[in-house]
Amino acid sequence: MSCGNKESRINSADAIREFIVDVAELPEVNDFNGDTSLFLNNLLDSMNLVALIAFIEETFGIKVKPMDIVYENFDTQNLILSYIERKKAGNV
């Protein structure tokens, strides 16, 4: 991964984390990391998922297809980042 891609991923991770912290009304300092299940740990619910998808589409300029809305793509911050990268590369 080139330096630019690494920086882009960090910026993307920060944007997603900030969104999750805001929507889940978490304190800025909390115990969730990139591999924390957002849904099993009740950080997000189905209504938050709708907001998350809208945020991702607007922020990253991608279209999330209904068939892409599965835990494997949206359950953790790292899975979300991987999904965004695959979409931008045209692999989803």
- How far is C-alpha 75 from the geometric centre of its chain's CA atoms? 8
Average predicted confidence (pLDDT) for the chain: 87
Residue type, 31: D
Q: What's residue 2's pLDDT?
A: 44
Q: What's residue 25's pLDDT?
A: 81
Q: What's residue 7's pLDDT?
A: 64
Model confidence at 1, in pLDDT bands (50, 70, 90)? very low
**Distance between CA atoms of 43 and 11, rounded to whole angstroms?**
21
Q: Could you say which architecture CATH assigns to the domain 3-89?
A: Orthogonal Bundle (1.10)
Rounded to two decimals, the pTM is 0.85
Tell me the domain boundaries of the chain: 3-89
**Distance between CA atoms of 6 and 83, rounded to whole angstroms?**
16
